[in-house]
Amino acid sequence: MAKIDLAKVPKQFCDNITIGFNPESFIIALFSGETAGIYAISPEHAKRLSQYLTHTISQYESQFGAIDAKWSPGILSPIQSVDMDRGGEEGK
């Protein structure tokens, strides 16, 4: 696998994430404004992603200090999913 220089690749800010699953896969939707990238990964890859994030966050916190964040299921981001359902139209 080719090494990727993360400093050089284009980036989009992800302001919301939604994850669902079925017996065969996890579905991950990464929202950026009114668009989303939606990915399906195997349960094994989902587990490795969780482990990789835990490891990387630990490295980040060792360098920059603890991240003050609380996970609250159902929390809505500044870009609300209901806004996406309306297609961004106000008062519909």
d(CA 69, CA 55): 17
Q: Is the pTM of this model over 0.75?
A: no
pLDDT digits (tens, 9 = 90+) for 58-87: 999 999 999 998 877 765 555 445 544 545
Of 36, 50, 37, whose CA–CA distance to 79 is shortest?
36
Domains in the chain: boundaries: 13-66
- Report which of residues 44 and 34 the model is more confident about: 44
User: 3-state DSSP call for residue 62?
Assistant: helix
Of 11, 38, 35, 14, whose CA–CA distance to 88 is shortest?
35
Predicted confidence at residue 88, as pLDDT, reads: 46
